[in-house]
Chain A
Amino acid sequence: MRDVAIEAVSLRKVYGTDQHAVVALDDVSISIRKGEFFTLLGPSGCGKTTLLKMIAGFETPSEGNILLNGHDITEQPPNRRPVNTVFQSYALFPHLTVRQNVGFGLSMLGRPAAEIDEVVNRALGLVKLEAMADRKPQQLSGGQQQRVALARALAPSPEVLLLDEPLSALDLKLRKEMQTELKRLQLELGITFIFVTHDQEEALTMSDRIAVMSSGNLLQVGTPKEIYNHPVNRFVADFIGETNFIPAQVAGTTATIGGDIALPVDPASPQGSHTLAVRPEHIRIVPSGAEATLRALITESVYFGTDSHVRLRLANDIELVARFQSDEAGGDAPPVDTEVGLIFAPGALQVLED
């Protein structure tokens, strides 16, 4: 267990009492490894921020424990935990300069001024804000404020850095830049990052592992690839990326959809009445003459630049959405009312538990 940074054991959080009680976190257990970029992903109200606040110490769990490097820190106040947070609103102290903001943690710990100076300079260098050191936060742009918040949380060299949707206030271009920047910093410093977001794309591109949460429950923990390719249930599949859901009867290696079309699935799939999931990009559209698993009619085609989103109707009126890569075929998607063949990539057909 030496490589585990944060361990949450059966965490439960209930707000209010009796009939008005709201369960924010329902028996969540999780292990986060040292040096990992770990993301808590889910829609708002799923409990991800509550979990983050508990790790930081701003919330006390109703039940359960939190361990840091194997020590129970559940009852420790935030100012005793070697854990720092980058807040969604940045929470920069408006009455202090950038330098004083970044040095705040160390000065609260009573470190000597010379040491603080040195660390602050290094932290500001890390986020490329040396020139802004003596300004007040209000004089900086949103992106710069975000870097100050990051430098401030990193300056005391925490064991774990918590990031609460830190990029949500930035515009798209800046957000992309900061994503790369954050990943670079995490690799460079080797600190455990716990990142909270509702943006699935952000989660997929940055994380080593992702935990998907919904209404206080932990649904799935895994690498971005595992989560994307093997979602455990319909919610995860739906929340991450686009998916076609088709009701199916599974028997052995065959899933029957619409009562008459049979498709091959993994033999380990759950048997009986289930949902079949297929990602649009895992469906290949071929000319009607070519060999294909299925035949379909194109009912709608919307051009998106790099690809087209194509709506297809199967013989038994079941509808599917597929992506047609513009460059692959060297031309546009076939026009509406064209008959085409469909080929599924290996492992593309997933049978979901619910």
Chain B
Amino acid sequence: MARRDFSAARLPGFATIAITVFVALYAPILMLVAYSFNAGDSIAIWEGFSLKWYPVAWNNAEVREVTLRSLTIAATASVLSTTVATMAALGTTRRRQTRGQTFIYLLINQPLMVPEIVTAVALLIFFASIKVATGYQGLGYLIAAHTAFCIPFAYLPIRARLEGMDLTLEIAAGDLYASSWQTFRHVTLPLLAPGIGAGMMLAFVTSLDDVVITLFVKSAGQDTLPTYMLAQIRRSVSAEVNAISTLLLLLTVLLLTAFFLLTRKRD
């Protein structure tokens, strides 16, 4: 047996548990992906490799419709939430601590602290009376709700980036004749861009994944991809749902990789 150096950090059994955890985390997802390529429509019995479920999903007009709706909501909500979160981050970071600032932090992070089901119920009640009062039934409610709960996800990476930024760079710009606007345009904004990109990425993913709030806020015929899938799973399960899931997973992983690359510390 090879001799091992004494290592204080090594605790017996921990590595085994950790590796089991990693396997257990990915196995179900990988199985789901694998069965999206099943020739049969069972999600248990392998009947050979086939790509047939992807065209099946694509040719399903309802799938196309809900996907488009999901993407529309996610794109709108992520752009809106990132814009207002950027402004809020610029307003609240790098200044003296005040009570007003604590209040703003609390309000911005509120969607992270309140269980989704509670927010969903509150929005259902509030929007129901607006729907009655105004008669408006459009996508606006979903976009407003998604924008609100995406704000903290956009805000946090932007704020982190701002806090890591060297304040003297902006002072230097002022010293070199830049007005406040020029400083923002030529120094702050370009340096903040990776944080804004990362924030928008997270907001998009968060919006795209939401089930609970959408379920309670949507009007009739406003299913998004997740609420559509939830209904499908309850009815019957076919490999078609696996194909849709796989595509959604792929999109998420791509966005996350982009986020990871954007926030990675560069020398």
B115 to chain A, nearest CB (A): 41
Q: Which residue of A85, A94, A95 is within 8 Å of B175 (Cβ)?
A: A85
Q: Which residue of B166, B168, B176 is within 8 Å of A105 (Cβ)?
A: B176
The total of chain B residues at the interface (CB under 8 A) is 18
B167-190 interface bits toward A, Cβ cutoff 8 Å, 1 = contact, 0 = none: 011011111111100100011001
Q: Which residue of B175, B179, B187 is within 8 Å of A84 (Cβ)?
A: B175
B167 to chain A, nearest CB (A): 9
Residues of chain A from 192 to 234 with CB closer than 8 A to chain B in the complex = none
Residue of A nearest to B176 (CB): A105
Q: Which residue of A77, A87, A138 is within 8 Å of B172 (Cβ)?
A: A87
B94 to chain A, nearest CB (A): 14
Q: Does B267 contact A (CB under 8 A)?
A: yes
Question: A93 CA to B178 CA in the complex, in Å?
Answer: 13
Decide: B177 and A91 in contact? CB cutoff 8 A: no
Q: Which residue of A58, A85, A91, A109 is within 8 Å of B166 (Cβ)?
A: A91
Residue among A79, A80, A83, A84 with most chain B CB within 10 A: A79
Decide: B168 and A104 in contact? CB cutoff 8 A: no
Q: How many interface contacts (CB-CB < 8 Å) are there between A and B?
A: 61
Q: Does B212 contact A (CB under 8 A)?
A: no
Q: Does B191 contact A (CB under 8 A)?
A: yes
B29 to chain A, nearest CB (A): 38
Decide: B191 and A138 in contact? CB cutoff 8 A: no
Q: Which residue of B177, B182, B187 is within 8 Å of A93 (Cβ)?
A: B187
B49 to chain A, nearest CB (A): 48
Decide: B172 and A108 in contact? CB cutoff 8 A: no
Q: Does A89 contact B (CB under 8 A)?
A: yes
Decide: B176 and A104 in contact? CB cutoff 8 A: yes
Residue among A77, A80, A108 with most chain B CB within 10 A: A108
Residues of chain A from 55 to 79 with CB closer than 8 A to chain B in the complex = 56-58, 77-79
The verdict on A58 contacting B171 (CB below 8 Å), with A93-B187, A95-B191, A138-B267 known, is: yes
Q: Does A35 contact B (CB under 8 A)?
A: no
Q: Which residue of B174, B177, B267 is within 8 Å of A156 (Cβ)?
A: B177
Query: What are the 10 A-B residue pairs with the smallest beta carbon separation, nearest first?
Result: A105-B176, A91-B172, A91-B168, A108-B177, A78-B174, A108-B178, A95-B190, A85-B175, A79-B177, A109-B177
